[in-house]
Structures are given as structure tokens and as C-alpha cells.
A and B are shown apart, each in its own frame.
Chain A
């Protein structure tokens, strides 16, 4: 079956530090990959996505590249801010698994805290 493994947290960084949150996956078919962000007290928001190998998703200074050869989709940001403190979820959607139900498979989430 499908699975997503992401870096266990919590991750604590100082403002302007470089961020990497690792994400690897297993899938039956050729999945689409996503990063979601959840700010305190809120639902999840789509941060970025990639639908095919070597695609780079980017948004708000965050980037992730779909690496089929290493089955990875690591999230990076060059200089984090206090406002980036949140929980980050890696997820995949595999059209080969489960037919048309479009269910996402989520990682367990990584809590990021950025200190001033």
C-alpha cells in the first residue's frame, strides 16, 4: 500500500536559519505529491504540490522537488521566519490505488518552531 514517512519533530530553529523537512514515500503508481501547512488552531492549507518527476513546487519561499529515483519530496526554505511556525504535512495521491476515490495519504506531521 501507499505510505508517507516524514521527519519526526519537533524542529526548532532560529529566525533566518535554513529549513529542511524530509519526506519519502512508497506508492503503487505514479503519485502526485503535496505539502500542507497547519497554523495553530487552523485547518490544513495547501502549501505546494508537484504532479510529475523533477517538478518543483514552490510557494512563500518554500520549495520541494519530486524525486522519483529516491522517492522523496523534501521541503526546504532558505530563511525561516517566526511566522513559519506551524505543523507541516507531506502527502501523496496515487491514482493507481483505490480507483477514483482520490484519497490522500498523509505523513504524521512535523512541528516547526522558529524563535526570534
Chain B
């Protein structure tokens, strides 16, 4: 059963459009993360949050931005989509180090 929800699952959008990828979790976790997954499968951390009003950039530089106004919600925004943003985006949350992460099902973004 999924306790972390990502919408949309698939998105095809034109270059220059603004998009927001939604991520919500019902577990009350403070820590949330966004990963970009390339076709070679490797995961790249692009943003994370320790809690409300906390956001940090990850290991991979990204033109996207995030916000954390509510504990359960961690949306990712691209102001002007480009073909280079085509990728799978995965959202995750965690509570304790020993628990690992819970992942959403992902959003597959294609920019044409």
C-alpha cells in the first residue's frame, strides 16, 4: 500500500512550460527527498527537506525548485521545462535512519 503519492504518473509537455510535480505523504514524516533517475538507472538527489520551511539542494544541481509549507506536501516546480529535464522523478520520505526511505511511484516527465 502506498503512503506516499506522486502525481501525475506520466507527463508530456512542451518546451518552456511551467510544471509542478506533486508529492504527498500521509505518514507524518519530517524528512522528504526528490531524486532524478536517469535512463541508466542511477539515482541523483536533487532536493531534500528536514521539515516545514526547510529545503536544501541535493548532490546534483537542478533548475527545479521545491517548497515545504506543510509536513505532508513537497512539490517540485520547473519554471521553464526543457528537453534536458526529461527524466523519471522520484519522491521519498523518512523518519528514522534505520527505517530507510518510503518512495512514491514516480513521475515520468517528457519534455518535447
Contacts and interface: CB of A to CB of B under 8 A. Distances in A.
Interface string B92-112: 101011101111111010000
Interface of A: 32, 34, 36, 38, 41-46, 49, 51, 87, 89, 91, 93-95, 100-104, 106, 108-109, 111
A46 B104 CA distance: 12
Contacts of B98: 32, 49, 51, 93
Contacts of A41: 108
B100 A109 contact: no
A111 B41 contact: yes
A45 B102 CA distance: 7
A91 B100 contact: yes
Contacts of A100: 50
Given A87-B41, A108-B41, A34 B100 contact: yes
